[in-house]
Structure 1
């Protein structure tokens, strides 16, 4: 029964999230913590850190990792399949009908309307993660310094992860 819940949760996440992995974070968080209790807030932040450090899309990495935690290898397969299945089906349908509707102003207007929602979901995920990641003043300093280095000094994200890890070891 838990595997069916896992599959349906990630199918819903994959079907109703536009904007990629970051936009999925609030939905994954809600399903994993609030709805099913598969994770605590701390575990979710830890998983989020792991999936952002590993290659691949956040949604797929999250589904694979959480699926494994809930149901082992079969759970990983089911959650990963469920999260990509809606996109796969939608892309197949879009490819089939694209030539017919590609110049439609309604399609353009729909995407213009969806863009702000995607931004809102990403901001919501960022605020939610920040609430749980910033546990004290030292963690806020690490976050602010690395945000500055990434955003304005263009340091590589991998280097920022290493620097954050070193700062964590030194400060905590």
Structure 2
């Protein structure tokens, strides 16, 4: 592990993650899991699930945790700097320029042309999570949890963090009872 690799992984993800945190997740997965092999798909999925239960931007939380995990305190600082500082500088620069040209048609259509690409990236990431769920739980349980989660979040309006916390509790309570009873 080199700090330059940590910097580049989070810098590339931050610079190419058009659309915010959710768009960064598939890019980080490519860097962290596929390119550098710092985590496997299951570990990355667990990291995303736990990150979603905490307040704050997902990209920053992922950078902080993954950076710390692979490089200690310096890894954390490098990953956070790579994911935050360039984005802040670009935001200041680009928003200033875009505000001057906000009525130009190509500027108005710019984000609309990128949305389908981000949708495909999120779709591929989602399918990878579905396959991981199937491997761990089987198709029946995986599909039940997917459908139930979609219903609870989209129809009833339960926040994903609450749903994740409840599922974690459902898994941990029997484990804790066994440990305490021994």
Alignment partner, residue 159 of structure 1: 162
RMSD across aligned positions (CA): 2.1
| 8 Å CA contact retained: 1:150, 1:156 | yes
The CA deviation string for residues 1-39 of structure 1, in whole angstroms up to 9 with x for no partner, is 611100111111111110111111111111111111101
Alignment partner, residue 96 of structure 1: 96
TM score, norm. by length of structure 2: 0.84
Alignment partner, residue 146 of structure 2: 143
In structure 1, how many angstroms separate the alpha carbons of the residues matched to 2:171 and 2:52? 17
| Range that drifts further, 112-121 or 47-56 | 112-121
In structure 1, how many angstroms separate the alpha carbons of the residues matched to 2:133 and 2:63? 21
Question: Shift in Å at residue 169 of structure 1?
Answer: 4.9
Alignment partner, residue 26 of structure 2: 26
SS of the aligned residue for 1:88 comes to helix
Contiguous gaps of at least 5 residues in structure 1 = none
The CA deviation string for residues 92-117 of structure 1, in whole angstroms up to 9 with x for no partner, is 11233234211111111222211222
TM score, norm. by length of structure 1: 0.89
Question: Shift in Å at residue 145 of structure 1?
Answer: 1.1
Alignment partner, residue 67 of structure 1: 67
Give the paired residue count.
172
- RCO higher in structure (CA 8 A, sep ≥6): 1
Q: In terms of Rg, which structure is larger?
A: 2
Over 3 Å off, 4+ runs: 166-172
| 8 Å CA contact retained: 2:63, 2:76 | yes
Alignment partner, residue 109 of structure 2: 109
The CA deviation string for residues 29-65 of structure 1, in whole angstroms up to 9 with x for no partner, is 1111111110111111111111111111111111111
Contiguous gaps of at least 5 residues in structure 2 = 176-182
